[in-house]
Amino acid sequence: MNRNMNPTPGTEPHAANAAATSARDWLDDLLDSDARDERSSYIADAGFTARVMHALPVPLTLPAWRKPAIVALWGVALAGISLALPSAFLDVVREGYRLIGAQPVSLSGMVGALVLAGTLSWTAAAYALRASE
């Protein structure tokens, strides 16, 4: 919606509104004059913006200690498992290393995978933008 909706370009919207519904009369003039008076008097901010900004909901920020605390908890948990079940822990680590180490990864394979991932992302982005237009 924009100002081009005004059916009579070059006139005030309310004047065009009045013309569209009925002939203008003394009440139209009275309302116009009152509206002009009101519009010409700017209401000073006087702390209003500050009041609004103070009333905005507080942004959800995580406390600074949360991330290191989570990392430390995971570390403690892993250390606990490795101490409680040393043989099971060593088996998991050994099998994991064997699984990853058994996969031969060449440079050309990595580049190919990156190109494929990039192409897929750009195609998806282009499709999403086209769909939202």
Chain positions contacting other proteins, by CB under 8 A = 1-3, 5-7, 12-14, 16-17, 20-22, 26-27, 30-32, 34-35, 38-39, 41-43, 45, 48-49, 51-53, 55-57, 59
Tokens found for residue 35: 């509206």
Measured from the CB of residue 32, what is the shortest distance to other proteins in angstroms?
7
Q: Which alpha helices (H) appear in the chain, and where do they start and end?
A: 13-21, 26-40, 48-55, 66-84, 86-101, 107-132
Nearer to other proteins, 49 or 106 (CB): 49
Distance CA(125)–CA(118), nearest Å, equals 11
With respect to other proteins, which residue has the nearer C-beta, 49 or 87?
49
* Minimum CB–partner distance for residue 65 and other proteins (Å): 22
**CB of 93: closest distance to other proteins in angstroms?**
42
CB–CB of 18/26 below 8 Å?
Answer: no
Q: What angle do CA 73, 74, 80 make, to 5 degrees?
A: 90
Least distance between other proteins and beta carbon 12 (Å): 7
